[in-house]
Amino acid sequence: MDRRLQPIRRKTFVVLAVGLVGGGPWLGWWTIAPLLSAVAVFWVAERLSGRSAHPEFAIFGAWAMSQGIIATSVALTGSLRDVTVCWLAIPVMTLSARFSVRGIVAGVGLTVALMAVVLLSADPSAVVRQPPILFAPVLLVVASAMLSTALMRSDIEHRGEALIDALTGMLNRNALARRTEELRQQSEISGDPVGVIVADIDHFKRVNDSHGHAAGDAVLKDVAYILRKHFRAFESAYRLGGEEFLILLPGADLPHTFEQAERLRHAVAAQSVGDGQRVTISLGVAASRRSSVFDYPTVLSEADSALYDAKGAGRNQVCACSRQAERPASTLRLTGSVEPAPAQ
C-alpha cells in the first residue's frame, strides 16, 4: 500500500510547496526548509523499507518524523493564529491505509500530543481561556482518523468478498488469476516448475439428492478445510466452482505434485465430513517443466484432462498428465493413473 501511496505523496508535497511559496510573504520563506526535510525523510524510508524485514517500522518512523517536522514548523511561528497546525491532520488520513489499529491509535496519539505541545507552548493562558483553540484541531484529527479507517476497512471487506469464496473461505477464481500471473512472472526469473492439482468430489450430486443442499454445503466446507490445512500458504488452494478445487504448488515438479495429490486423496477419504458422511475425491495433476515459463492455461488443461482420466478409471484416484509422466511404471501408468484405492 505504501508503494501505491508514493506517487500521491509526491504530488501532495508539490501541492504543499506551491502553497508555501504562495504564502511566503506572510508565513516566511523558511517554511520551505521543513517541507524539504520531510521529502528527504520519506526518500530514505522508501529505500530502507525495501531492504528491511519489518518495513512498517521504517514507514511509521518516517511518518512520525514528518509530523514532528510539521509541529516544529508551527511552533516556530509562535502564533495561535497559525492555521498550519491543521496540516497535522493530513498525514493522519494515510494511517489506516498502511497500519493496523494499534498503529492508527499510536499515530493519532502522537499527533494529539504534538498539537497540545505546540499550542500550549505558544500561549498556554490563551488555551486555558479559549479551549476550542486546542480541542477543535484535535477533533479534526480524531474525526479524520475515524472516517479514513472506516472507509479503508470497508474497502478491505469488499476486496475480500471479491477474492474469497463465501461458502468455503477459500480463494476464488479472481484471486487465482492474480496468483497465476505472479507465478508466471516468477518462473521467468527462477525457472522453477509449478505444479497444479485439480480435485473433484466424487458423486457429489448424489450427496445433494440424498441429503439435501445444506448437507452438500457442509461437505464442501469440510473438504475445503482438509485441502487448506495441508498447505502452509493460504493462497495455495482455490475453489473453482461447484465441487471442484484447485491447488497451486510453486517449485513442485510432476512427481512431487503427484505425491501431494495422493496425500490429499488419502486425507479426504480417511475423515468424516458434513454430518458424518464419507466421501472421496478424484485428482488430476500436471506441472510446468523446469527452466520454462509457467503457462497456466496449458498446465490447467493438462490437469483437467488427467482429472477426466481419474473419473473414467473409477474415481478415488490420482491421474497425471500422460505427456508429462515421469514416475516409474509401477506407480504411474502410461495414462498417468495410479492403481485404484480400496472403496471407502
Query: Tell me: the pLDDT tens digits for 196-229?
Result: 999 999 999 999 888 899 999 999 999 999 998 8
Which percentage of the chain shows pLDDT scores above 90?
44
- Cα separation, 131 vs 74, whole angstroms: 18
- DSSP per-residue string spanning 115-135: HHHHHHHH-HHHHHH-THHHH
Q: Average of pLDDT values for 121-127?
A: 86
- Give tens-digit pLDDT for 172-205: 888 898 899 989 998 988 899 999 999 999 999 9
Residue 98 predicted with pLDDT over 50: yes
CA 66 and chain centroid, separation = 27
pLDDT of residue 286: 96
Q: Average of pLDDT values for 305-330?
A: 78
Q: Please name the residue ranges forming H helices in the chain.
A: 2-22, 24-27, 32-49, 55-77, 89-92, 95-98, 101-122, 124-129, 132-163, 173-190, 204-211, 213-229, 254-269, 296-312
Ramachandran area for residue 314 (φ above 0: left; ψ -120 to 50: alpha; else beta): left
Which SS3 state, helix, strand or coil, does residue 199 take?
A: strand
Phi, psi of 200 (to 5 degrees): -140, 135
pLDDT of residue 160: 57
In this structure, are residues 257 and 290 in contact, taking their beta carbons and an 8 Å threshold? no
- Residue of 17 and 256 predicted with greater confidence: 256
pLDDT of residue 3: 72
Lowest mean pLDDT among 34-48, 111-125, 209-223: 34-48
What lies within 8 Å, CB to CB, of 124 at 6+ separation is none
Residue 335's pLDDT band (cuts 50, 70, 90): very low
pLDDT of residue 233: 61
Residue 255 predicted with pLDDT over 80: yes
| Sole residue written with cell 471479491 | 162
pLDDT of residue 236: 86
Which uninterrupted H or E stretch holds 238? strand 237-241
CA 65 and chain centroid, separation = 27
Residues annotated as catalytic are: 243
Q: Average of pLDDT values for 307-314?
A: 94
Mean pLDDT, the chain, rounded, equals 85
Residue 333 predicted with pLDDT over 60: no
- Residue of 11 and 331 predicted with greater confidence: 11
Residue 331 predicted with pLDDT over 50: no
Contacts of 296-305 with CB under 8 Å at 24 or more apart are 296/180, 296/183, 296/184, 296/196, 299/194, 299/196, 300/196, 300/198, 300/246, 302/196, 303/196, 303/197, 303/198, 303/246, 304/198
Residue 33's pLDDT band (cuts 50, 70, 90): confident
pLDDT of residue 259: 94
- Residue of 38 and 344 predicted with greater confidence: 38
Domains of the chain: 2-163 (no CATH), 173-324 (3.30.70.270)
Residue 269's pLDDT band (cuts 50, 70, 90): very high
Residue 294 predicted with pLDDT over 90: yes
- Cα separation, 221 vs 95, whole angstroms: 36
pLDDT of residue 79: 65
- Give tens-digit pLDDT for 60-87: 998 999 899 888 888 887 666 666 788 8
- DSSP per-residue string spanning 5-59: HHHHHHHHHHHHHHHHHHTHHHH-GGGHHHHHHHHHHHHHHHHHHTT-S-HHHHH
- Cα separation, 309 vs 303, whole angstroms: 10
Beta bridge partners of 238: 171, 246
Residue 339 predicted with pLDDT over 80: no
In this structure, are residues 88 and 109 in contact, taking their beta carbons and an 8 Å threshold? no
Residue 328 predicted with pLDDT over 60: no
pLDDT of residue 200: 96
Cell triple for 20: 508555501
pLDDT of residue 196: 96
